[in-house]
């Protein structure tokens, strides 16, 4: 699942991003409210983690703008303010939950999972192509009912391919959605991870699901569905 973190404190942003990526989440970071709003408008997210104190506009304003633009992605607001009136202001601005700094990372994870479960009640969280299946909430993968052990980056790449099943995904699309925005899409890292997935998903079976479109990118599809 994809999370947008809007946080201007570099150390905190790095700590949260690293921890979430270790839990198999794809994380984009914006360090200002303006960047956060723009990023939320052009990309689909399952959750937004929003700091209250930002350099250009505060989190309350950002949250109100998100809701005004009909962006209904769940918002978890982070703040050093712990007064009840501040929490009420955040919730009234459109936030779904409120976490006070400093916080234990385990509590952040628990709140993230709770919000994603709540969001998951309104959408399909099981992705399936042929006999390959992943659960976006538990972040578990199976093929022919057998579990597949994936690293966080392998899971993020597989999830993106399955979200775009039967469609061509380019290296640029993968670099923007699975890796950070400044990732160099001309390196061979994407090819390496595609090969990792092939070994775990396609090698044990005769039916191959991950296909290379030479010069264009990759496509994940069930060959049995072809005319």
Q: Is the pLDDT of residue 207 over 70?
A: yes
Question: CA distances (Å), 121 to each of 13, 20, 27, 209, 222, in order?
Answer: 28, 22, 22, 28, 27
Tell me which residue has tokens 């060959």.
Answer: 223
pLDDT at 68: 92
Is the pLDDT score of 42 beyond 60? yes
Give the whole-angstrom CA distance, residue 193 versus residue 182.
Answer: 18
The whole-number average pLDDT for the span 152-160 is 89
Q: Domains along the chain?
A: 2-120 (3.40.50.2300), 126-225 (1.10.10.10)
Distance in angstroms (rounded) separating the CA atoms of residues 215 and 87: 51
Model confidence at 122: pLDDT above 60 = no
Question: Which whole number is the average pLDDT over 130-157?
Answer: 90
Q: For residue range 166-192, list pLDDT tens digits in order.
A: 989 988 888 877 876 555 556 788 899
- Please compute the mean of the pLDDT values over residues 36-58 and round it to a whole number: 90
pLDDT, position 208: 93
Per-residue confidence (pLDDT) for residue 173, from 0 to 100: 82
Whether 7 contacts 78, CB under 8 Å = yes
pLDDT score for 184: 59
Average pLDDT on 111-115 reads 90
C-alpha distance from residue 118 to each of 17, 44, 46, 89, 92 (Å): 22, 17, 11, 22, 19
- Taking only the tens place, the pLDDT of each residue in 77-94 is 998 877 777 778 888 889
Least confident of 101-110, 116-125, 200-209: 116-125
| DSSP letters for the chain | -EEEEE---HHHHHHHHHHHHHTT-EEEEESSHHHHHHHHHHS--SEEEEES--SSS-HHHHHHHHHHTT----EEEEES---HHHHHHHHHTT-SEEEESS--HHHHHHHHHHHHHHHHTTS--EEEETTEEEETTTTEEEETTEEE---HHHHHHHHHHHHTTTS-EEHHHHHHHHS-TT--TTSSHHHHHHHHHIIIIITTSSS--EEEETTTEEEE--GGG--
């Amino acid at each position: 699942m994809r999370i947008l973190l809007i946080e201007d404190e570099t150390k905190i942003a790095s700590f949260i991003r690293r921890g979430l990526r270790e839990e198999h989440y794809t994380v984009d970071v914006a360090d200002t409210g303006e960047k956060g709003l723009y990023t939320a408008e052009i990309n689909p997210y399952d959750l937004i983690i929003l700091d209250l104190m930002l350099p250009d506009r505060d989190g309350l304003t950002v949250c109100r703008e998100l809701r005004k633009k009909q962006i209904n992605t769940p918002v978890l607001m982070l703040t050093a303010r712990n007064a009840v009136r501040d929490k009420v202001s955040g919730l009234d601005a459109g936030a779904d939950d409120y976490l006070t700094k400093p916080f234990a990372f385990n509590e952040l994870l628990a709140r993230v999972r709770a919000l994603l479960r709540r969001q998951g009640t309104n959408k399909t969280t099981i992705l399936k192509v042929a006999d390959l299946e992943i659960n976006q909430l538990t972040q578990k993968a199976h093929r022919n009912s057998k579990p597949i052990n994936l690293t966080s980056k392998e899971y993020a790449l597989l999830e993106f391919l399955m979200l775009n099943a039967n469609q061509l995904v380019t290296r640029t699309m993968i670099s923007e959605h699975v890796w950070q925005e400044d990732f160099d899409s001309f390196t061979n890292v994407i090819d390496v991870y595609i090969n990792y997935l092939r070994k775990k998903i396609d090698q044990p079976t005769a039916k191959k699901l991950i296909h290379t479109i030479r010069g264009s990118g990759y496509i994940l599809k069930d060959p049995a569905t072809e005319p």
